[in-house]
């Protein structure tokens, strides 16, 4: 037996715990040595210039070396933030300064980062330290598939289960356009419960091209597991090349032998045809997708498992289908006390259902041939079984459980195997559901811990690493919150940088404080918030001092303009300060208006009564904001004297002068008091008469509407005209036309009298 110990850069087997023995040079993945020796360090900074240098020791505690290779090492470490074991893959020495080697390393990082699948080793983070780049990866502690193959051929059932899971992981990679190019047992790690995980994507390339990393004619990979086209030219590979390598891996799992020489007759017969097609030399002759290969493996094994139908229809009279104990033909249950299986079943014909002995091949009631019906029913149950497995693989636990429950309800002893499978599968669904719940809790816990450390990228990746069907409910809410907070933090940081660059610091404390809540790890933000708080405290002290000085000046001199001038340079955040400044601004505005009115009134040397009224009202406004202004107070007496020269001239302006006169209180001259009283009395009479007229007019309109004859209607119109005599806008109640009150009767006679 020639085992494959093939190693690519940082071989995935090194994640499995314990250092591995040295490897023969013939087993090393081709391309590694050329990668180390080719190129130079020139331009390396360009490759890594967008990746910050970090100190791994601040978060990870190194506990040992899992593996060592020519280009680097894989270290076992503990993530002190999340308290979990991780594998840290390093590229060190000369390789760390080699552009092409670093490109390969980053290719692996970016390839795995895009793949969130339970059958692919998860990458938590990647970056660079002072001594070279690194990957932080899931620590898989169950060994590698190569370790299992060293013990010889694996059981068929285990091989089939692992192969299907690897097909699922590979399908995810291919769906994202990523080709592995180095699939082999050494690059499949196993968890303690036997779950296989693809690793070591160092030779992966994007389906659309690998940006010049693979030169035409180059050979990359491990020879024994390379398809023919990859041996000729690595640039010719596509997703079907990975399927050849996976089939070669399955071959070693089934035989315990390296696929250097493939002998298909050593493979269990049920999978010979499947592997023969998967290992065809021409890509077009192979399976065209990982899903198709998976389905072929499942279909082949299902055919193998279809024996119950044959057994159930090939029984001697009285033979128990379960323990094969002979019984009397009249018995309904097996005589074997340890079996006691039912010996009567129902005819499978849809329109029959008659109870017949299990060994009967033809229903005596309807003549239906039982072997054919049993085979058809078995095929249907196999489809349901496949459907349940597919639904479970898609994390549709409830649907898978319903199918399992239906299979457990089978009472026909000919299909006991399906009932047994249903019970086993139902338990499997429960375990998988529990594992999925644990995974969700773990990822949510990881994301929460990363969020607490303000590491949004890792937190988002933790949630996105969940299979999509599990990203519902709280994980989806958390992911939305993380993305929103991360985006908000980036926008805030950009805005803060711009405002600092332009020295626009007013109001910056609030967004800076919010940014610090979102990015508490930023010491520069903490310092900025502290500086802004001190700046604001200083400005508030200055504003308080200015407020006190302005208040004192205004109280002593009533000089609103100079008082306002003391406040203008300051940002007034206190409501009391802002309200005082608002009063001063209004006082200054009204005083400026008064000055302009006085200038205009004196321009022609004559101050008219209208100007006196306007000035009196403006003086009142000014005094409402600045009641102690001496020069404005001095204007009141001259204005009052002008009004007293001819009070009757201001009779019509008495309502407008009411506030001005009230400001004198009891000092209002008696003639003006009498004039005010007369004007008020006249206004009251007019309002009362107007109200009475409105009442009469309304009554007439009502009566007009209820008038029974044209004569009565004309009388009502005359009364309405008398009540509204002199009105310029009276609406005719019959046609809606507006006319003068005294013309309402004439309008009625002309337009409505003959109706």
All residues at 6 or more sequence positions from 508 whose CB lies less than 8 Å from its CB, including other chains: 496, 499, 500, 532
Last-in-domain residue among 668, 699, 729:
668
- Residue 92 in this model has a pLDDT that exceeds 70: no
Q: Check 147, 182, 446, 485 and give the catalytic one.
A: 182
Q: Within a domain: residue 299?
A: yes
For residues 204 and 196, what is the distance between their CA atoms, to the nearest angstrom?
19
Identify whether the C-beta of residue 352 lies closer than 8 Å to the C-beta of residue 369: no
Let me know how long the chain is. 755
> Is the residue at 450 inside a domain?
no
List of residues 6+ apart from 150 with CB closer than 8 A: 3
Q: How confident is the model at residue 23 (pLDDT cuts 50, 70, 90)?
A: very low
Q: Based on the domain organization, do 613 and 711 belong to the same domain? A: no
Structural tokens at position 589: 């505005």
Q: Residue 570 region, left (φ>0) first, then alpha (ψ -120 to 50), else beta?
A: beta
Residue with tokens 């809790």: 441
> Quick one: tokens of 611?
């100007």
Per-residue DSSP letter, 296: H
My answer on whether 261 and 142 are in the same domain is yes
Q: What is the pLDDT of residue 247?
A: 94
DSSP string covering 479-496: HHHHHHHHHHHHHHHHHH
- Contacts of residue 496, Cβ cutoff 8 Å, sequence gap at least 6: 508, 511, 512, 515, 525, 528
Out of 281-290, 337-346, 673-682, give the one with best mean pLDDT: 281-290
What 3-state DSSP class applies to 466?
coil
- Find the mean pLDDT for residues 619-635: 91
Average pLDDT over residues 561-581: 88
> Does residue 594 sit in the same domain as residue 620?
yes
Are residues 136 and 220 both part of a single domain? yes
Residue 348, pLDDT above cutoff 90: no
For the chain, the maximum distance between any two Cα atoms, rounded to a whole number of angstroms, is 142
% of the chain surpassing 70 pLDDT: 80
Q: According to the model, what pLDDT value does residue 108 have?
A: 64
Q: Comparing C-alpha atoms, which of 709, 634, 644 is closest to residue 675?
A: 644
- Does residue 604 contact residue 625 with C-beta atoms inside 8 Å? no
What's the pLDDT band for 696 if we cut at 50, 70, 90?
Answer: low
- What's the pLDDT band for 705 if we cut at 50, 70, 90? low
Residues 633 and 734 in one domain: no
Verify that 296 and 317 share a domain, yes or no. Answer: no
Distance CA 323, CA 344 (A): 15
Average pLDDT over residues 375-402: 87
Range of the domain at 379: 307-436
Q: Which residue, 66, 70, 82, is CA-closest to 29?
A: 70
Taking all residues of the chain, what is their mean pLDDT, rounded to a whole number? 80
Cα(288)–Cα(602) distance, rounded to whole angstroms? Answer: 102
Check residue 700 and give its pLDDT: 62
Instruction: Tell me which of 29-33, 84-88, 497-501, 610-614 is least confident.
Output: 29-33
Q: Give 224's DSSP letter.
A: G
Q: Which of 545, 530, 580, 579 is nearest to 560 (CA)?
A: 580
Task: Answer yes or no: do 121 and 204 share one domain.
Answer: yes
Phi, psi values for residue 336, rounded to 5°: -70, 115
How far is 162 from 150, CA to CA, in rounded Å?
16
Same domain for 69 and 204, yes or no, is yes
Pick the last residue of a domain from 436, 468, 487.
436
Residue 444: predicted pLDDT: 93
Query: Which tens digit of pLDDT belongs to each residue from 120-170?
Result: 888 888 887 887 788 888 899 888 899 999 999 999 888 998 999 999 989
In this predicted model, what pLDDT tens digit does every residue of 721-730 receive, in sequence order? Answer: 766 665 556 6
Whether 315 is covered by a domain: the verdict is: yes
Phi, psi angles (nearest 5°) of residue 385:
-60, -45
Identify whether 599 is part of a domain.
yes
Q: Retrieve residue 539's tokens.
A: 């400005």
Quick one: pLDDT at residue 729?
63
**Could you give the C-alpha distances from 545 to 196, 263, 567, in angstroms and in order?**
74, 96, 9
Residue 217 and residue 275 share a domain: yes
When mean pLDDT is compared across 234-243, 257-266, 592-601, the lowest value belongs to 234-243
Nearest Cα residue to 677 out of 649, 658, 692:
658
Q: For the chain, count helices (H), then strands (E).
A: 25, 13
Which pair of structure tokens corresponds to residue 410?
A: 């089978």
Token pair 């669904």 is found at: 429
Listed residues 304, 335, 369: the one ending a domain: 304
Q: How far apart are CA 75 and CA 92, in angstroms?
A: 12
- The pair of three-digit structure tokens given for residue 242, joined into one six-digit string: 């990975």
Query: pLDDT tier at 702 (50, 70, 90 boundaries)?
Result: low
Three-state SS sequence of 691-748: HHHHHHHHHHHHHHHHCCCHHHHHHHHHHHHHHCCCCCCEECCCCCCEECHHHHHHHH
Q: Could you tell me which residue, 718 or 608, shows the higher pLDDT?
A: 608
94: pLDDT confidence band, cut at 50, 70 and 90? low
pLDDT at 641 over 60: yes
DSSP state of 197: E
**pLDDT bucket at 755, cuts 50 / 70 / 90:** low
Statement: residue 627 has pLDDT above 70: yes
User: What does the alpha-carbon distance between residue 382 and residue 393 come to, in Å, rounded to a whole number?
Assistant: 16
DSSP structure class, residue 153: P
User: Which tokens is 218 given?
Assistant: 């180059």
In the predicted model, what is the mean pLDDT of residues 610-625?
Answer: 91
From first CA to last CA, the distance across the chain in angstroms is 124
**What total of structural domains would you count in the chain?**
4
What is the C-alpha to C-alpha distance for residues 719 and 738, in angstroms, rounded to an integer? Answer: 17
Q: Is the dihedral of CA 146, 150, 156, 157 positive or negative?
A: negative
Is 182 tagged catalytic? yes
Closest C-alpha to 346, from 407, 406, 410:
410
With respect to residue 546, please indicate whether it lies within any of the assigned structural domains.
no
Q: Do 269 and 339 reside in the same domain of the chain? A: no
Q: Is 380 exposed, middle or buried (0-12, 13-18, 19+ CB in 10 A)?
A: exposed
- From the CA atom positions of the chain, what is the Rg in Å? 48
Is pLDDT above 80 for 373? yes
- In this predicted structure, what is the pLDDT of residue 97? 62
Tokens of 283: 């890509």
pLDDT classification of 534: cutoffs 50, 70, 90: very high
Indicate whether 468 belongs to any domain: no
Do the beta carbons of residue 196 and residue 253 sit within 8 Å? no
Residues 581-594, mean pLDDT to the nearest whole number: 93
Within-domain flag for 532: no
Query: Is 514 within 8 Å of 499 (Cβ atoms)?
Result: no
Is there a single domain that holds both residue 648 and residue 720? Answer: no
pLDDT at 706 over 60: yes
pLDDT of residue 98: 67
CB 246, CB 163: distance < 8 Å: yes
Q: What is the average per-residue pLDDT within 255-265? A: 90
Confidence of residue 491 (pLDDT cuts 50, 70, 90): very high
Q: How many CB atoms lie within 10 A of CB 218?
A: 13
Helix (H/G/I), strand (E/B), else coil: 178: strand
Q: Does the pLDDT at position 518 exceed 50?
A: yes
Q: Are residues 297 and 349 in the same domain?
A: no
Question: pLDDT at position 51, please?
Answer: 60
The answer to whether residue 491 is domain-embedded is: no
As a whole number, mean pLDDT of residues 599-612 equals 87
């Amino acid at each position: 037996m020639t085992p494959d110990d093939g190693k690519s850069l940082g071989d995935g087997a090194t994640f499995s715990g314990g250092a591995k023995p040295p490897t023969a040079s013939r087993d090393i993945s081709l391309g590694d040595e050329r990668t180390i020796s080719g190129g130079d360090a020139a331009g390396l900074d360009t490759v890594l210039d967008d990746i910050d240098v970090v100190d791994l020791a601040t978060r990870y505690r190194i506990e040992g070396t899992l593996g060592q290779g020519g280009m680097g090492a894989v270290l076992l470490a503990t993530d002190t933030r999340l308290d979990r074991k991780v594998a840290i893959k390093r590229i060190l020495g000369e390789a760390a300064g080699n552009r092409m080697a670093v490109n390969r390393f980053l290719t692996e990082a970016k390839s795995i980062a895009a793949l969130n699948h339970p059958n692919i080793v998860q990458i938590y983070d990647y970056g660079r330290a002072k001594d070279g780049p690194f990957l932080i990866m899931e620590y898989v502690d169950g060994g590698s598939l190569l370790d299992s193959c060293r013990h010889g051929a694996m059981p068929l059932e285990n091989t089939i289960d692992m192969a299907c899971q690897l097909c699922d992981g590979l399908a995810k990679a291919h769906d994202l356009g990523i080709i592995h190019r180095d699939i082999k047992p050494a690059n499949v790690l196993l968890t303690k419960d036997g779950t296989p995980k693809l690793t070591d994507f160092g030779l992966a390339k994007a389906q659309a091209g690998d940006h010049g990393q693979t030169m035409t004619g180059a050979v990359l990979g491990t020879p024994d597991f390379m398809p023919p086209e990859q041996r000729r030219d690595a640039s010719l590979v596509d997703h079907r090349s990975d399927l050849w390598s996976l089939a070669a891996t399955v071959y070693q799992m089934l035989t315990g032998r390296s696929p250097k020489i493939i002998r298909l007759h050593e493979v269990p017969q049920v999978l010979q045809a499947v592997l023969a097609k998967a290992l065809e030399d021409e890509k077009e002759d192979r399976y065209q997708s990982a899903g198709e290969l998976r389905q072929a493996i499942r279909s082949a094994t299902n055919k193998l498992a279809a024996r119950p139908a044959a057994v159930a229809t090939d029984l001697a009279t009285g033979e128990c289908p379960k323990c094969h104990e002979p019984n009397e033909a009249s018995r309904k249950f097996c005589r074997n006390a340890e079996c006691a299986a039912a010996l009567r079943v129902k005819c499978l014909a849809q329109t029959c259902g008659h109870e017949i002995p299990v060994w009967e091949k033809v229903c005596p009631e309807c003549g239906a041939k039982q072997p054919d019906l049993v085979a058809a029913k078995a095929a249907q149950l196999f489809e349901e079984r496949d459907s349940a497995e597919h639904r479970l693989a898609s994390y549709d636990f409830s649907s898978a459980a319903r199918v399992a429950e239906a299979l457990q309800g089978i009472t026909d002893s000919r299909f006991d195997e399906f009932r047994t499978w249903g019970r086993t599968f139902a338990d499997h669904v429960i375990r998988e559901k529990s594992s999925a719940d644990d995974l969700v809790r773990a990822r949510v816990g990881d994301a929460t811990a990363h969020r607490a450390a303000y590491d949004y990228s890792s937190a988002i990746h933790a949630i996105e690493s969940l299979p999509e069907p599990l990203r519902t409910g709280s994980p989806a809410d958390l992911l939305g919150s993380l993305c929103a907070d991360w985006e908000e933090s980036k926008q805030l940081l950009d805005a803060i940088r711009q405002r600092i660059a332009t020295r626009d610091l007013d109001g910056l404390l609030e967004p800076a404080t919010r940014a610090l809540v979102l990015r508490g790890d930023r010491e520069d933000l903490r310092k900025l918030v502290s500086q802004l708080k001190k700046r604001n405290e200083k400005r508030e002290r200055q504003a308080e001092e200015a407020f006190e000085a302005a208040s004192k000046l205004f109280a002593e001199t009533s000089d609103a303009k100079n008082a306002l001038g003391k406040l203008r340079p300051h940002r007034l955040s206190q409501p009391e300060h802002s309200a005082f400044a608002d009063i001063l601004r209004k006082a200054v505005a009204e005083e400026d208006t008064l000055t302009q009115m006085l200038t205009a009134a004196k321009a022609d040397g004559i101050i008219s009564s209208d100007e006196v009224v306007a000035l009196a009202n403006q003086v009142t406004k000014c005094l409402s904001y600045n009641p102690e202004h001496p020069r404005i107070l001095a204007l009141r007496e001259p204005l009052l004297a002008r009004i007293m020269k001819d009070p009757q001239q201001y009779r019509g302006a008495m309502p407008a002068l009411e506030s001005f006169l009230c400001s004198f209180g009891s000092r209002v001259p008696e003639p003006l008091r009498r004039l005010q009283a007369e004007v008020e009395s006249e206004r009251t009479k007019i309002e009362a008469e107007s109200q009475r007229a409105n009442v009469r007019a309304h009554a007439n309109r009502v009566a007009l509407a209820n008038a029974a004859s044209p004569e009565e209607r004309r009388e009502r119109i005359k009364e309405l005209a008398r009540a509204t005599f002199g009105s310029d806008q009276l609406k005719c109640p019959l046609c809606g036309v507006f006319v003068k009150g005294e013309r309402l009767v004439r309008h009625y006679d002309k337009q409505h009298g003959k109706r």
